[in-house]
Amino acid sequence: MNISSFDDLLTMARQQQLPQRLLFVFAGIELPADCSPEQRARFEAGQGGALVPLMCVDKSPSELDSFSALVSEASQFDQQWGMVFAAAMSGTLAKPPSSADAEVPLQRMVEAIKQGDIGAFIPFDLQGSPVHFG
């Protein structure tokens, strides 16, 4: 699966055999108080920082038209986020996953992001482009 934009994620989720639920965690990017001068310089140049989960939401692919729709909904919460992490969960042929089904996986995502364990998620920047770390 090659996802080069948020729209690719939506398209692929809609094409899966099993119904999907998309999970999103919006994160702020902050500079830790105990940072070094080098870390501060990198941060001020737009690199580095610590990811801080701010809010999360789950959506079925049919509930979301575009990245701009997700951004518009997120803006209602007045949080300054810099990145959104996405994941998907599958239901069964008989039952699509519900918001209730997504609660525990969303909390696991939040905890994983707090610990810097982000390899299982797709991060997107403010324009809906995938972010590549490393």
> Three-state SS string across 42-68, please?
HHHCCCCCEEEEEEEEEECHHHCCCHH
Q: Tell me the pLDDT tens digit for each residue of 66-75.
A: 999 999 999 9
In a domain, 79, yes or no: yes
Answer yes or no: is pLDDT of 99 > 80: yes
Q: Tell me the pLDDT tens digit for each residue of 19-77.
A: 999 999 999 988 878 888 888 888 888 777 889 999 999 999 999 999 999 999 999 98
| Number of domains making up the chain | 1
> How high is the pLDDT of residue 1?
61
In a domain, 130, yes or no: no
Answer yes or no: is pLDDT of 134 > 70: no
In a domain, 66, yes or no: yes
> How high is the pLDDT of residue 44?
82
In a domain, 73, yes or no: yes
Residue 42 lies in domain: 6-124
In a domain, 133, yes or no: no
Only one residue has tokens 């690199």, namely 47
- Confirm whether pTM is higher than 0.85: yes
